[in-house]
Structure formats: structure tokens, C-alpha cells
Chain A
Amino acid sequence: MIEIRWHGRGGQGAITAAKIFATAAFRAGYTGVVMAPSFGTERRGAPVFTSLKIAKEKIYDISPIETPDIVVVLDHLLLTEADVAKGLKPGGLIVLNTPKPLTAHDFDGMRVAAADVTALSLEAGLPHGVVNSGIIGVLCRALDVVPFDTVLGEIEAEFKTKRPQANAQAARLAYEKTIVEGA
């Protein structure tokens, strides 16, 4: 089982991003998929997270992730606002949207995959601040379990009425520009 926790801000589309990746994983043979948003009283802009578990078999335990293999962070400012690395397994992976060089962050020995998704999404033709398609490209570069073409297909399907090509292009650019560091 692969456990991925997605951190974003209310309204930023972290749930949609997780759902796209979950659907692609399902199509790629991960029949066990459980995606549980943090429940309750989300406000726009406030830190939120969603849990995604994927496995080859049906998942019966839908309780929240405590020890993720991967955390996906849609906004680098969340690194200081929320304890995004909480419970991250030793050797775990942080997938990060950041405009800064990796040396500007302290990741306590964890593996990091990062790209400036905000800028690359603009370049792909998306409005400023839309990063939830692009971040999937960063994840796919560092986690090779779902064919990237399948993921791009799901991105276009999810955004079929909202700039499907630009969203897919954002993921493609992020995939190409991602820097992976660490063990």
C-alpha cells in the first residue's frame, strides 16, 4: 500500500488533484483506492489535507493516514504553517511546489521532488494560482507507479470543461522541470 497525504489550502484543489491521481492509479490496476478529505469546516485559504491510500487489493481500513510514504505540498508556505511532514516514514518523499532553490528549505533528510509549479502553470496558460494539475506532474516524476500518459488522460477528463490542454501541459512542464534530491 502507498499512503500519500496531500496538503493544500481550502479552495486550492488538493482534493481534485488527489482524485485525479487516484483515478489514474485505479485505471493502472490499483483496485484499492481510498481518498479521505479532512472533514468538517474548511475555509478558503486555510490549511487542509486529504489522505490517499492506493493498493493492488481492496482497502478496508479507511482511517486517516498516520505514517505517509509521501506528502504532497501545493504551497511551500505550508511548510512553516502546518506540520506537513508529520509521521512521514523514514526515507519518505516530500513533493513540493516551491519557487525557491531546494537549499532554501530544511527537509531533515527526507527525499524531495520539487518544481516551481506556480510559474510553470502560468507558462502553460493557466490563471495565476492554479497548481493542482501541475503538482501531479511533480509527483509522477518521483513516483513511478502509474503511467504518466494515463495520468495526463485523467487530468484532461477531469478538466474537460476547464482548459483541459493547459492543465495537462502544466503537468507535463512540471514533470520535465522537477528536481529530485535525497536518498
Chain B
Amino acid sequence: MHIIENGNVAAALGVKLAGAQVIAAYPITPQTPLTEKLAEFIEAGEMRAQYIPVESEHSALAACIAASSTGARAFTATSANGLLYMHEQIHWAAGARLPIVMCVVNRAVGAPWCIWNDHQDSISQRDTGWIQMYACDHQQIIDGVLKAFALAEATSIPVMLCYDGYLLSHTYMPFEVPDEGKVGRFLKPFKPPYALDPANPANLNTVTLPDVRMDVLGEMAHGYMEIRYLLQEDLRAALSVGQEIEDEFASIFGRGGNALVEPYRCDDADYVVVGMGSLTYQLRDVVEALRDEGHKIGVLGIRLYRPFPDQAVAEALGAVRGVFVIEKALSYGYEGALCSDLKAALYEHLVKGGGNGGPAEDGRDRGQPAFVKGLVAGIGGRDIRTLDLTDALRAGMAATAGGGAKGAPAEERPDWIGIKL
């Protein structure tokens, strides 16, 4: 059934369909309507779950960690400074390998206070060991919640489903609410490999020594380093697990397809613009406008940011002259984190091996693009005007024209679209 609702309601309906058993959350704009909706569902008896009101985001995630440790399907959601207040527990949930799902309703981080959208909050949690998915519209939010639980439970790694505050959370769009019966086929009941049980008391995640050692049963137990190595290995493997789950979802629901990246008009593109979230859908109209002017340009949306789909990104960008990366966040003191990650992927797959083997079947030359140009937009909810995006990309292409088949390099430092100084 299709309904027209806002993104927070889409997320809440997804959590309800997923059968989350414990919800602990603290309200913060623009996440608040999501947790209010869940509280309503539970109060009305439409959803059988325990809602734990807490006094802070730190406690919200602590409650989810406890719930998940006992084998319950646990969910929380937050934004901006609320997410940062969780930070210690965010690392903990990943280290403890608990398949918690959290919606991050992306919002700018204070100071100064700002309630509007950018991606600094979730990007700043990049290195915590969580999986990060980014949604572009309401369908990807509601479907994404279901996929997030499936992926978290398949990998024993927590998942953040990130979506743009206000732009998606408070905007109304049509989307299909997945059929309950089909959800039952897609998302099996959560059966953790280990769950806390009062009948068999145990200590979890106590002080773990630098080296391996015998445990009380005389078996060789992992040291801290082994535990963390396995987290890294499993995160890398989550790239293929995520795609398998996407395929399974597509076979049941008939939509979706690529869990890692979402290319649009990239096949014959000389230039590709890369981004995350709702911006990449807005960029489709920009691409159409620039194509009408004769520019061969496409857009590549990153749907899974951690683990980073380096191979898929390099494959998508292997034959282009130049790449523009538009981000709503910065690694302050350098450039956008996605821009750096993307350059690393291109180096790994295209430069180090001398490109991937010359002209491919389609006759297009493979090799590294002449430039990767970082751009910053929409910080603190500054309107991202479609015309401004079009102008910035047109200027970027003009500045790098010439320089042979691969074009000329671009300025290194990121440009800020729409800055008024």
C-alpha cells in the first residue's frame, strides 16, 4: 500500500514492521517525531515492544546494548549532539558485536547551535566500527530499516541508517509500506549466537589482555587485537553480505538492486559527481540539465559508506575524466572524508595496479581520472539550490577542460557551494 507521509513516519513504520522488541531513545530535533511515533504505536498496542524512556542519549544506547545482549531486537535513533553524546557507547556496541539498529536523522553539530541538516554528525562516527547506510528517499528509509536489521543480525555488527534531517525527515512523499507477510519472509526472528541468560551468568567484555591467553575452560581465548581484527574482517565481508541481503529483498519485494552504490547515467560519462543521501537524487535533475547542454555527466550515490565499497566505486569511476565529490561534512583541516576515501579507493584499484588493464570491452580507456574535486554544500542546512549545483559543476568542468584525453587537474582544496563571504 502506498501512503504519503514524512520520512520519520517511514522510519517508524519500518521499525514496527521489523518487530523491534526494545526501543530506547531520547528526543532531539529533527529525530523527535520518529520516536514519538514509535511511542504511539506501542501505547496503542499496535506494536509489541518495550519503550524505555531515558534521561540521555548515552543511556539510550546503553539500554539498547543491554537489551541486545539478552537477544532482543533493539532500536534507537538520534541526531547531531545526541549522537555525539552516545559516542562512547557507539564504540562499545560495535566492539561487543551487538546488532543494534539506529536511525541517524542527520543534523549539523554545535557549536554554534544549528538544528538543520548536514552530515557532520554521522561522518564523525565513521571510525566506530558501525555499518553506515545513507537513504535518498522515503522508500529507502522504510526498506532500509528492514535491510539494516537483516544486515546487522547477519554480521553481528550494529548499523546506522542515516537520512537527511528535515529534507527527508519532515518532507512528505509517497512510498510503499512493505507487506507484513513478505517482511516475515525477508526478516527472520532474531536468534543471536549468544545471549545473556540469568540461568547461566557470565561476564561480557571484561578487561581483555594484549595477548591471547587460556580461558577458565582451558581454551585459547582471543586477545583484544584478535577481537578487533575479526571486527575489521567481518566489516569488509559485510560488503558482500549487504549485497546478498539486497538481492534477497529485491526478489521478495521487487525493488532495490544495488546495496553499495547507486549510479545514474554513469555508463558513458566523462564526469561523475559523487555524494550521499537526498542530494544525490537532487543531482539527477542537475545531470539532466547539464546533459541537455551536451556535457556527458552522471551521478554516483554512495548507499553504503562503511564498510566503504572501494571496488564498486573504482569500477564506476574507472573510465571518467574527472570526479566531483559533493559533501555536507568535512574532516576539518583537510577535506571531506568521502573525498579522501574515494581517492584512496582509486589509488588502490586504478593507480597501484597501473589501471585495470587498458581498454575494456566497451572500448573506453581505463585508468585513474585526471582529478577528484571536492566540493562542500548545504552545511548547517544552507539551501542547496539546483541552479547553484548546475553552475558549480559546469564551472568545474570548464576549469579542467583541455589537458588531453584525461583532462587537467583541479584545484586541491574543496570549493564551498553557496558560501556568502
Contact = CB atoms under 8 A, between A and B. Distances in A.
Given A31-B174, A34-B172, A36-B170, A61 B116 contact: no
Nearest to B284: A60
Contact of B173 (A34, A41, A64, A66): A34
B4 A22 contact: yes
A66 B386 CA distance: 10
A47 interface: no
Nearest to B5: A19
A23 interface: yes
A169 B394 CA distance: 52
Contacts of A63: 282, 383-386
B115 interface: yes
Contacts, number: 58
A18 to B, nearest CB: 8
B282 A33 contact: no
B281 interface: yes
B386 A39 contact: no
7 contacts: A31-B174, A33-B4, A33-B174, A40-B116, A60-B284, A61-B281, A62-B171
Interface in B278-323: 278, 281-282, 284-285
Given A36-B170, A39-B381, 12 more contacts: A19-B172, A31-B174, A34-B171, A34-B172, A34-B173, A35-B172, A60-B281, A60-B285, A61-B386, A62-B173, A63-B282, A63-B386
A37 interface: yes
A62 to B, nearest CB: 6
A26 interface: yes
Contact of B383 (A33, A60, A64): A64
Contacts of A31: 174
Contacts of B11: none
B371 interface: no
Interface string B380-393: 01011110000000
Given A35-B171, A35-B172, A40-B115, A26 B2 contact: yes
Given A39-B166, A62-B167, A22 B172 contact: yes
A41 B166 CA distance: 12
Given A23-B4, A26-B2, A39-B381, A33 B173 contact: yes
- Which of A33, A40, A66: most chain B Cβ within 10 A? A40
A146 B172 CA distance: 19
Given A33-B4, A39-B116, A40-B115, A61 B174 contact: no
Given A22-B4, A26-B4, A60-B281, A39 B173 contact: no
A149 to B, nearest CB: 19
Interface in B248-283: 278, 281-282
B282 A61 contact: yes
Contacts of A41: 115
Contacts of B115: 40-41
A33 B171 CA distance: 10
Interface string A36-48: 1101110000000
Contact of B281 (A35, A37, A39, A62): A62
For the complex of A and B, the 7 pairs showing the least CB-CB separation, nearest first, are: A35-B172, A39-B166, A60-B281, A61-B285, A36-B171, A60-B284, A61-B282
A89 to B, nearest CB: 15
Contacts of B383: 63-64
B418 to A, nearest CB: 12
A117 B275 CA distance: 45
Contacts of A22: 4, 172
Interface string A62-76: 111010000000000
Contacts of A61: 281-282, 284-285, 386
A35 B167 CA distance: 10
A66 B384 CA distance: 12
Nearest to A41: B115
A63 B385 CA distance: 7
Interface in B197-243: none
Given A26-B4, A33-B4, A40-B115, A66 B282 contact: no
A62 B170 contact: no
B9 to A, nearest CB: 12
Interface string B90-117: 0000000000000000000000000110
A34 B168 CA distance: 10
Contacts of A36: 167, 170-172
Given A22-B172, A31-B174, A66 B284 contact: no
A25 to B, nearest CB: 9
Contacts of B166: 39-40
Given A34-B171, A34-B173, A66 B385 contact: yes
Interface in A1-39: 19, 22-23, 26, 31, 33-37, 39
Contacts of A64: 383
B170 A37 contact: yes
Contacts of A35: 4, 171-173
A22 B175 CA distance: 13
Interface in B117-145: none
Contacts of A39: 30, 116, 166, 170, 381
B142 to A, nearest CB: 16
Interface in B1-35: 2, 4, 30
A19 B385 contact: no
B174 A62 contact: no
